[in-house]
Amino acid sequence: MLLISRKNDYFPSYHLDMQRFLFGREFRAEELPFPDKVVKEHVKNGYVAVRPGIESLNDNIFDLLSGRKKWLCARCGNRDQEAFATCACSHCRKKCVYCRHCLTMGIVRSCTNLVTWIGPEPESWTCSTHNDVQLCTWDGRLSDDQNAAAAALDQALTARESFLIWAVTGAGKTEIMYQAIEHQLKKGKHVVLATPRTDVVRELLPRMRAAFPSVPISGLYAGSDDVRADAPLVLSTAHQLIRYSKCFDCVFIDEVDAFPFHFDPMLEFAVRKAAKPGAPFAYLSATPPAALRSAYLSGSLSGVKLSRRYHGHPLPVPRFHWIGGWLRAIQKGQLPVPLRVWLTEKMEQKRQVFVFVPSVTLSRDLTEILQREAFDRTVGVHAEDPHRHTKVADFRNGKINILVTTTILERGVTVPGVEVCVVGADDPVFDECALVQISGRVGRSAEYPAGDLVFFHNGKTLAMVRALGQIKQMNKEGAL
Amino acid sequence: MALCLFCNAERREPLTFRTLLSPETEAGFCPACRDGLKRINRRNNCLYCGRDLSLLDQETVRDRICRDCVWWRKSGRNGLYVKNYSVFSYNEFIKEIINQFKFRGDSILADGFACDLRKTFQRIKKEHGTRTAFRLLDKMDASFIIVPIPLSAARLAERGFNQAEVLAEKMGAPVTNALVRDKHEPKQSKKNRRERLMERVTPFRINADYASLIEGGKVLLIDDIYTTGATIRLAAEALAQANPIEIDSLTLIHG
Ligand SMILES: [Zn+2]
Ligand SMILES: [Zn+2]
Ligand SMILES: [Zn+2]
Ligand SMILES: [Zn+2]
């Protein structure tokens, strides 16, 4: 290991390697690639801070009286007492509490120390070399709506204010971010784009790299090996941000509304922890969660609403089609008639289609039926499918005609000219937000701005009606 | 409602007399996870190593004894070691659980096996109890000294806990750390079967404080998994120095 010291007359030295490794991040002491003695020296000289991994939450007298201890995991923010357990620990030779919630990132016990950098920030990548060079080389053109949104976003983040981009699916959110990202990077800021899903990181990473060819960009998701500790721009799933701490000056959150964000408080904690205190957040969503929506509507959160797609055409509006006992039919191995009629028509028109179903089992069963019924070039995908990425790639390059899928493909995956049906749109897994996202798969490209979109159902649900209302409302606003 | 220790799903227990009487169910696995575990059939297991014989080529089995156990008997290295008991056969599913338990440190997963370990221990005691009943002069009752297979100090520091000890503690009887492991042979997976069987120098030694306790007693060694049987026999060899009357072993898995 190369250890370079920086010395001057007033301050004791620190190792640049340690600074680069630890800045903006927080590790368990045992994860550090530095000798104990060196770490201790840095702690003594005030460059490195250490805190316990598990904190006790016994602040009220009630808990103290009952003798029941409550815990908090300092790394992942877990407070769910069910997700703590005790182990006979050989380090502290006692019963030791550990957090089960973030175990996959390496165990945090009550005797675990979390270590972070509190010394000077490393010299920023941009300031030194790229001050007057154009970083973003994307040469596409923004629509007027997009341009206005991009400018407003840039301005808000420069003023360190959070901002909401409420944009219909296909409004071109990614391109809207470029101006603001460029500006932040040039000022030597650390920028992160967090999304809840691996697929979104995988889809965005090549686009960002193409748009910012000279910028080192890290892409973090489970299983990625694309980690550069000092990259000024990081694309990450929320989960992977757990090892970061007070790193980013500016945070973009794509698809804020997406599962598992609003289910798992740990992910929100991870994103907040990764940001520096007071860092502005840019939220991007087609269907913002209620809290953000009302903050925007009441004026406490600034933002813009883009009701029109970048190509200017309206959103495709779903048709509702009753399909009766479709579930029984599929379970008996039969293809429900309306679905057969629709698919036959699509195949004759040589269209590619997504068929959304409520569950993995149904995806498997329906795929089998379709293959048997000579709808060849049909495959099914679901979240745990190991071949998911190749199947989606095959669909993109036209090797596959029909993709039967669970809600995992409701966002992120964009294929020009695709048409969509939802089988069992009345199932509770299809909430308003999911249905709007699914509808957003249709008509994304300027070449095919329209396209068929059917909700096959066995009784309309409130979610279906609301999704339809939302789409119509956006079209009305967009037409103005 | 109690949650499954492993998959975190709700444990929908079928409503039986027992679940009705004790609403506070023990921490454990859900029915789906329990289904994924492959329990060894006690009517068709090897009389010596406890493995499920139905998984073997029947040609290799004689008188309910597997070929490996015949080999061990001929090798003359059994000494005081008699037999092994295991609860589950190795499969992909239990491998996942063990990975999370042993390598990620999720030691509470052992609670999911507590009931099985306790029951197996009861069975072992019963089996030995009936045998001693015929030997009236035998000074021992059916009680065992429970000794977990230790980790070396370095491995223990790395892992934070000894999985064998955690399992042993679930059996509802006192645990005696009578063995010390001076070094760890290179990681087990890096050695092939032959090399492991040929290993002759025991890395274990007896903790002098417990030598007198072991003398004349029956020892039950505990480990998470019985693979070739070499580790258990090396541990038994070290224990033999203290002159117990018999050594057996109980492992969660045979694999
Ligand atoms: Zn945690
Ligand atoms: Zn500890
Ligand atoms: Zn389970
Ligand atoms: Zn055997």
Confidence band for A447, pLDDT divided at 50, 70 and 90:
confident
pLDDT at A283 over 50: yes
- Residue range A371-400: mean pLDDT, rounded: 87
The share of chain B scoring above pLDDT 90, in percent, equals 65
Query: What is the rounded radius of gyration, in angstroms, for the C-alpha atoms of chain A?
Result: 25
Q: For residue B20, is it within any domain?
A: no
Which residues have CB atoms below 5 A from the ion given as ligand 3?
A: B 4, 6-7, 30, 33
Q: Which domain holds residue B145?
A: 28-254
In chain B, the number of structural domains is: 1
Residue A89 burial (CB count, 10 A): 21
Q: For residue B212, is it within any domain?
A: yes
Confidence band for A393, pLDDT divided at 50, 70 and 90:
confident
- Indicate the pairing of strand A48-52 with strand A113-117: antiparallel
Nearest bound ligand to the CA of residue B226 = 4
Which residue of A86, A91, A107 is in closest CB contact with B104? A107
Residues with Cβ within 8 Å of residue B94, at least 6 apart in sequence? B36, B37, B38, B88, B253
List, for residues A238-271, the tens digit of each pLDDT value: 888 988 999 999 999 988 776 554 556 777 889 9
| Mean pLDDT for chain A overall | 88
- Residue range B140-163: mean pLDDT, rounded: 87
List, for residues B4-32, the tens digit of each pLDDT value: 999 887 666 555 554 444 545 567 898 88
- The structure tokens listed for A93 are 């030779």
Confidence band for A235, pLDDT divided at 50, 70 and 90:
very high
Tell me if B106 and A103 make a contact (CB, 8 A cut-off).
yes
Which residue of A85, A86, A91 is in closest CB contact with B160? A91
The share of chain A scoring above pLDDT 70, in percent, equals 91
List, for residues A137-187, the tens digit of each pLDDT value: 898 889 988 999 999 999 999 999 999 999 988 888 899 999 999 999 998
Does B157 lie at the interface with A, CB-CB under 8 angstroms? yes
| Cα–Cα distance list, A430 to A289, A436, A455, A466, A472 (Å) | 16, 9, 11, 12, 18
The Å distance, Cα B97 to ligand 3 centre, comes to: 10
The share of chain A scoring above pLDDT 90, in percent, equals 57
Question: Which residues in chain B are contacts of A109 at CB distance < 8 A?
Answer: 105, 160
pLDDT given for residue A439 in this prediction: 93
pLDDT given for residue A261 in this prediction: 47
pLDDT at B127 over 50: yes
Residues with Cβ within 8 Å of residue A315, at least 6 apart in sequence? A168, A169, A170, A309, A439, A440, A443, A471, A474, A475, A478
pLDDT given for residue A226 in this prediction: 67
Q: Are A146 and A310 in contact (CB under 8 A)?
A: yes
Of B240, B194, B208, B199, the residue nearest B221 (C-alpha)? B240
- Please name each of the domains of chain A with its CATH number: 12-117 (no CATH), 144-306 (3.40.50.300), 319-479 (3.40.50.300)
Q: Are A252 and A163 in contact (CB under 8 A)?
A: no
Q: What's the sign of the alpha-carbon dihedral A318, A322, A328, A334?
A: negative
Q: For residue A194, how many C-alpha atoms fall within 13 Å in the half-sphere facing its CB? A: 28
Q: What is the ipTM of this complex?
A: 0.85
Does B183 lie at the interface with A, CB-CB under 8 angstroms? no
SS3 A319: strand
Q: For residue B39, is it within any domain?
A: yes
User: How many cross-chain Cβ pairs, A to B, lie less than 8 Å apart?
Assistant: 44
| Cα–Cα distance list, A362 to A44, A320, A327, A357, A458 (Å) | 60, 20, 9, 7, 16
pLDDT given for residue A11 in this prediction: 56
Tell me if B105 and A98 make a contact (CB, 8 A cut-off).
yes
Q: For residue B22, is it within any domain?
A: no
pLDDT given for residue A260 in this prediction: 54
pLDDT at B215 over 80: yes
pLDDT given for residue B96 in this prediction: 94
The Å distance, Cα B36 to ligand 3 centre, comes to: 9
- The structure tokens listed for B173 are 């009887």
Residue of B108, B111, B152, B162 for testing the chain A interface, max A β-carbons within 10 Å: B108
pLDDT at B102 over 70: yes
Confidence band for A130, pLDDT divided at 50, 70 and 90:
low
DSSP string, A341-390: HHHHHHHHTT--EEEE-SSHHHHHHHHHHHHHTT--SEEEE-TT-TTHHH
- The structure tokens listed for B164 are 């064998």
Which residue did the predictor score with more confidence, A68 or B50?
A: B50
Q: For residue B12, is it within any domain?
A: no
Determine which helix (DSSP H) or strand (DSSP E) holds A251, and give its type and residue range: strand A250-254
Q: For residue B38, is it within any domain?
A: yes
Q: For residue B158, is it within any domain?
A: yes
Interface residues of A toward B, Cβ cutoff 8 Å, are 82, 85-91, 98, 100, 103-104, 106-107, 109
Q: Where are the alpha helices (DSSP H) in chain B?
A: 17-21, 31-36, 67-75, 92-98, 111-134, 153-159, 163-168, 193-198, 211-214, 230-240
pTM of the model: 0.79
Q: Are A408 and A383 in contact (CB under 8 A)?
A: yes
The share of chain B scoring above pLDDT 70, in percent, equals 84
Residue B54 burial (CB count, 10 A): 13
Confidence band for A333, pLDDT divided at 50, 70 and 90:
very high
B67–chain A nearest CA distance, Å:
38
pLDDT at B137 over 80: no
pLDDT given for residue B54 in this prediction: 93
| Angle made by CA atoms B156, A239, A173, in degrees to the nearest 5 | 165
Long-range contacts of B182-186 (CB under 8 A, 24+ apart): B182/B152, B183/B152, B184/B151, B184/B152, B184/B154, B184/B155
Residues with Cβ within 8 Å of residue B214, at least 6 apart in sequence? B145, B178, B206, B239, B242, B243, B244
- Residue range B166-172: mean pLDDT, rounded: 93
The Å distance, Cα A53 to ligand 1 centre, comes to: 8
**Longest C-alpha distance within chain A, in Å?**
84
List, for residues B180-211, the tens digit of each pLDDT value: 998 766 555 566 777 777 767 889 999 999 99
pLDDT at A471 over 80: yes
